[in-house]
Amino acid sequence: MRILQVCLKPPYPKVDGGCIAIAAITESLLMAEHSVKVLCMSTHKHPFNTAKVPSEVLKKTSIEAIEVDTRIKPFDAFLNLFSSNSYHIERFYSKDFELRLTEILEEDDFDIIHLESIFCTPYLNRIRSKSKAKVVLRAHNIEFEIWKQLANQEINPLKGWYLNLLAERLKTYEIKLFSQVDALVPITNEDKAGMTKLGVSVPMEVVPIGMDVDKIESKNLQSQPLKLYHLGAMDWSPNVEGITWFLDDIWPLISSKFPSISCSLAGRKMSPSLLSRSNGKLMISGEVSNISEFISDKNIAIIPLLSGSGMRVKIVEALAFKKVVITTTLGATGISFDDGINILIANTPSEFVEKIGMLEANPSLINSIGLEARKLAETEFDLKSLSSKLSYFYSNL
């Protein structure tokens, strides 16, 4: 099949979960030997750099990018208050991007046009006018739910009102959009169920985030001492919210009860206020250049998420690396986990302390849970099997 993959940001370099998820689709389609063309947006947060694209991907996809200014502009946001449109969506529309997309559609015929997230859908009408291809939306999550959760947790009444407004407009947009595409590819069964509840009737196929697990080198974990870590982009609101919760309510309890335990937090766009909290056994830094090196001597991945939907790439990655993952029930969405066997669930500060205490008292659990985590990654998230699943779904549309 001939497939056009339209992306809201470059898949490479894989600097965050979104990039990893997009790249996984590109690689799975190439793995199935489809003809793939990639057009992406180059933004201030995610600039495009051909030197960061694997040579084989660059050659096979002729990947290219158009610069799109997606920055939040206060004046535009203010004017948007007087319309019924979603400001989140408006920010991703660009005449230049639409022009290049039009040229590509006029130059070639495609069987499938794969849109990476709802932020690529402002171009749906132009796609329909220029192509007879089936249009498929890769739903990374149900976007409005994230903003609704953030609004409900906001203390400032005015900000809470504004977040609710954004969430409601986004909900209206998403529900309408879901019926305008030919198919949906959600990442989790939970999101599929949520879409069905919203009235979605187009074909859907759940395809989780995939990784070439065989290429992820794991090693048996040191059982002692316990070394915690969190690695994630800190320009994503749920990550900021979760880490702030961890630092305010969880880490003081852990460090007080288990003074020998260390914790390393790192991620792109780490704010100065968070960096300033680095102290003693708590080490906070910015972006790391090599993920494998950063986590190599650490055995416990802390993912303290309180909001969001979809699947957490960092959890899948940690499972493949044989790490013990401690996360919330929400954080483990989309993963067929067995609490205490291949993952540890903690929804309150006291539960986080309890799970840490369990590992401290039974160090052998670190290796046994890590081994089961790796098995889970191999069974559910291997790119080869997910590639076959996606190809079969596309061929039957």
Mean pLDDT of the chain: 91
Tell me what the mean pLDDT of segment 231-260 comes to: 92
Q: Is 222's pLDDT higher than 70?
A: no
pLDDT for residue 360:
93
Beta strands 134-139 and 183-186 are parallel
Q: Is 150's pLDDT higher than 80?
A: no
Question: Residue 259: what residue type?
Answer: P
pLDDT for residue 143:
81
pLDDT for residue 258:
95
Q: How confident is the model at residue 128 (pLDDT cuts 50, 70, 90)?
A: very high
Q: Is 221's pLDDT higher than 70?
A: no
pLDDT for residue 84:
72
Q: What is the pLDDT of residues 367-391, one digit of tens each?
A: 999 999 999 999 989 898 889 999 9
Q: Is 81's pLDDT higher than 80?
A: no
Q: How confident is the model at residue 226 (pLDDT cuts 50, 70, 90)?
A: very high
pLDDT for residue 339:
95
User: Among residues of the chain, what percentage have pLDDT more than 90?
Assistant: 64
Question: What structural domains and CATH numbers belong to the chain?
Answer: 2-210+383-395 (3.40.50.2000), 214-380 (3.40.50.2000)
User: Angle between the 364-380 and 313-320 helix axes, to the nearest 10 degrees?
Assistant: 110
Q: Is 357's pLDDT higher than 70?
A: yes
Q: Is 194's pLDDT higher than 80?
A: yes
Q: Which residues face 186 on adjacent strands?
A: 139
Q: How confident is the model at residue 157 (pLDDT cuts 50, 70, 90)?
A: confident
Burial class of residue 305 (count of CB atoms within 10 Å of its CB; 0-12, 13-18, 19+): buried
pLDDT for residue 282:
96
Q: Which residues face 265 on adjacent strands?
A: 230, 284
Q: How confident is the model at residue 114 (pLDDT cuts 50, 70, 90)?
A: very high
Q: What is the CA radius of gyration of the chain?
A: 21
